[in-house]
Amino acid sequence: MKTVSEIVRLGPVIPVLAFESVEQGENVSRALHAGGVKVLEITLRTSAGLEAIERASHLADDIVVGVGTITKPEHCGQAKKAGAQFGVSPGLTRDIHQAALDCGLPLLPGVMTPTDIIQAMEFGYEIVKLFPAQQAGGLAMLQALNGPFPGLKFCPTGGITAETAPSFLALPNVVCVGGSWLTPKAALAAQNWEEVTRLARAASTLAPTRT
């Protein structure tokens, strides 16, 4: 089982995915992996989420599938049973933290404010997700947070695009970014998996991951 620290360094971009069907999930996951994306965040925003996680986790030996949009403690165990290797939450509560610990699911918790960050650090987290990143202040917010929290690393997610991702990745406290631009709605509707692979290949070469 990889740690969150290891997972976020497998590539500069973690795609945030919500699938309309399990079949769509399998096709998109395969297309992303073909483009060099090794880490997927499959969210629980649709009913296809858990089964899509299960299928994606068997596509390749080097693929790392996580569950996104953890908002309830029970999501942790459900996702782990489906094959998720890590979890991502938009926020953090003590119950979610404990549930992730209890089932052995490495967690990337969401934060938005200094108070959120302090709570996450009290629980022992050294890497967090800034969400929603653009709405929370984007680049300026991350630069400001580096002062009081110099040892903390971020995976900003929310509103980041292919054009803005390099600026985020250039920050010293950003280890990777999350984004949905790798799976545009038009490409998914047209089942244009080649376009997904092209976008994944471009995202994989955006910037080297930080140590």
* Interval 81-132: pLDDT, tens: 999 999 999 999 999 999 999 999 999 999 999 999 999 999 999 999 999 9
- Which pLDDT belongs to residue 207? 76
| Structural domain boundaries in the chain | 4-204
| Calculated CA dihedral for residues 38, 156, 103, 46, nearest 10 degrees | -80
The predicted-structure confidence for 22-64, as pLDDT tens digits, reads as follows 999 999 999 999 999 999 999 999 999 999 999 999 999 999 9
- H/E stretch holding 176: none
Residue 94 pLDDT: 98
* Domain 4-204 classification at class level: alpha beta
Model pLDDT, residue 208: 62
Distances (CA, A) of 108 to 61, 84, 166, 176, 190: 22, 13, 21, 12, 32
For the chain, how big is the Rg over CA atoms in Å?
16
pLDDT digits (tens, 9 = 90+) for 160-189: 999 999 999 999 999 999 999 999 999 999
Cis? peptide before 132, omega within 30° of 0? yes
**92 phi and psi angles, rounded to 5 deg:** -140, 135
pTM of the model: 0.96
Task: Indicate the average pLDDT of the chain.
Answer: 96
Residue with tokens 């997972």: 7
CB 79 within 8 A of CB 59: no
Give the angle 103-64-150 at the CA atoms, nearest 5°: 80
Mind telling me the catalytic residues? Answer: 41, 129
Helix, strand, or coil (residue 92): coil
DSSP class of 206: S
Q: How far is CA 7 from CA 1, 106, 205, in A?
A: 10, 10, 17
Query: Which two structure tokens, joined as six digits, stand for 112?
Result: 């938005």
Residues 7, 45: Cα–Cα separation, whole Å: 22
